[in-house]
Amino acid sequence: MALTWKRLQGHGDDFTGDVTGSVNGTAASTVKAGAANGVTAKNAIDGNAAITVVGGSINIPDASDPQFSVDTDGDVTVKGTITVNKDSGSNAGLTLNSGTSGTMQLNMTGANPTVDVGGTGIKGTGVLKLRRETTSNGNAVQWYDGSSLKYSMGFSNEPNGSTTTPDMRTVWRMHPGNIYDADSGASLSKFVMSVGADSKIGFWDNERDFAGINIGSDGTNKGVKISDGGLVLAQKTLSNSATTAVDFATSTNFYIVLSTNTTLTASNLASQVGQSGVIVWKQDGTGGRSMTLASEMKTPRGDSISFETGANTTSILSYYIVSSAIVAVNYMGDFS
């Protein structure tokens, strides 16, 4: 290696000359420039200036097992804990920006992933917010077994983006599976529980047992207590023909317009033991239609009943399901 100095440097003098020759095959001037750039980079870091890496990557402490690395695609890998401290302006956060379209995911993989909002040092109020742009969008929390969707709760603009009452876009729902099946009214059958914007709660096909439900009560009553308001049991209209089927599992109260002579049949008694209600029928404008009770319907002392048959008259048959074989009935009428 040959180094050529333009002038003799004294002890303590700064080097201001040019270097020629090579160092291990690298031009001495290149070595000098690299050293100068290294000082510039260090000063930039010490001075909180920006560092730009073009066409390369960053690996700290080394590429084989980095604690912190940024590859050429901009992907960042960190080994250890990331701590974001609030600055003096009370600002701190982690922002993921997916732009105006597409999706962005925050994934936790591996064993026992856990999200703890607040941690052991919680101060004040913890809030987890899940937003949607408008009621034309949805948002939901979903539970999976592996890759299989099991349960959802949240909002959806389905089915049909309906704005009629109830506005399905504003109904909070719980579902097995997806928050909706398809863009059709049939998906309503998937509701397990729903809460409307008017705070009304609805259930679908809920066959679970309850020890007791207390409404407007102090909790001492075992059963249902309505402190204010009324209890309304819907009246199901049955089609009338020579045989009129009464399925006691479908309703408590029934209504029939008699347009022909008919015989009642009773079904689903075993599952409805203890149920009581009424069967109401009205003669049409012609009248004279006869009503024959189902064989399971028993009258007091086995007496026969003479039903009112006048045109447009209304009669009521009260009932109580005693067993799978007996429906105790009593006749009231006419109401005209």
- Please indicate whether residue 301 or residue 92 has the higher confidence score (pLDDT): 301
Please determine, for residue 11, whether its predicted confidence score (pLDDT) is greater than 60.
no
**DSSP state letters, 201-218:** EEESS-----S---BSS-
pLDDT, mean of residues 185-204: 66
Q: So what's the pLDDT on residue 235?
A: 96
Output the pLDDT for position 269: 98
pLDDT band at 93 (very low <50, low <70, confident <90, very high): confident
**pTM of the entire predicted model:** 0.52
Q: Which of 197-201, 247-251, 294-298, 318-322 has the lowest mean pLDDT?
A: 197-201
Please tell me which residue, 217 or 6, carries the higher pLDDT value. Answer: 217
Cα–Cα distance list, 159 to 80, 155, 198, 206 (Å): 45, 11, 19, 21
Q: Nearest Cα to 236, choosing from 225, 228, 248, 224?
A: 248
- pLDDT surpasses 70 at 10: no
The rounded percent of the chain whose pLDDT value lies above 70 is 74
The dihedral through the CA atoms of 118, 124, 126, 127 has a sign that is: negative
- The pLDDT, as a whole number, for residue 240 is 95
Strand (E) or helix (H) holding 246: strand 243-247
Q: What pLDDT digit, counting tens, does each position of 238-281 carry? A: 999 999 999 999 999 999 999 999 999 999 999 999 999 999 99
At 36-76, the pLDDT tens digits run: 666 665 665 566 666 666 667 777 777 788 888 888 888 88
pLDDT digits (tens, 9 = 90+) for 142-174: 999 999 988 888 888 766 555 666 677 788 888
pLDDT given for residue 162 in this prediction: 58
3-state secondary structure of 59: strand
Give the Cα separation of 219 and 228 in Å (integer).
Answer: 15
The domain ranges of the chain are 1-55, 134-227, 235-335
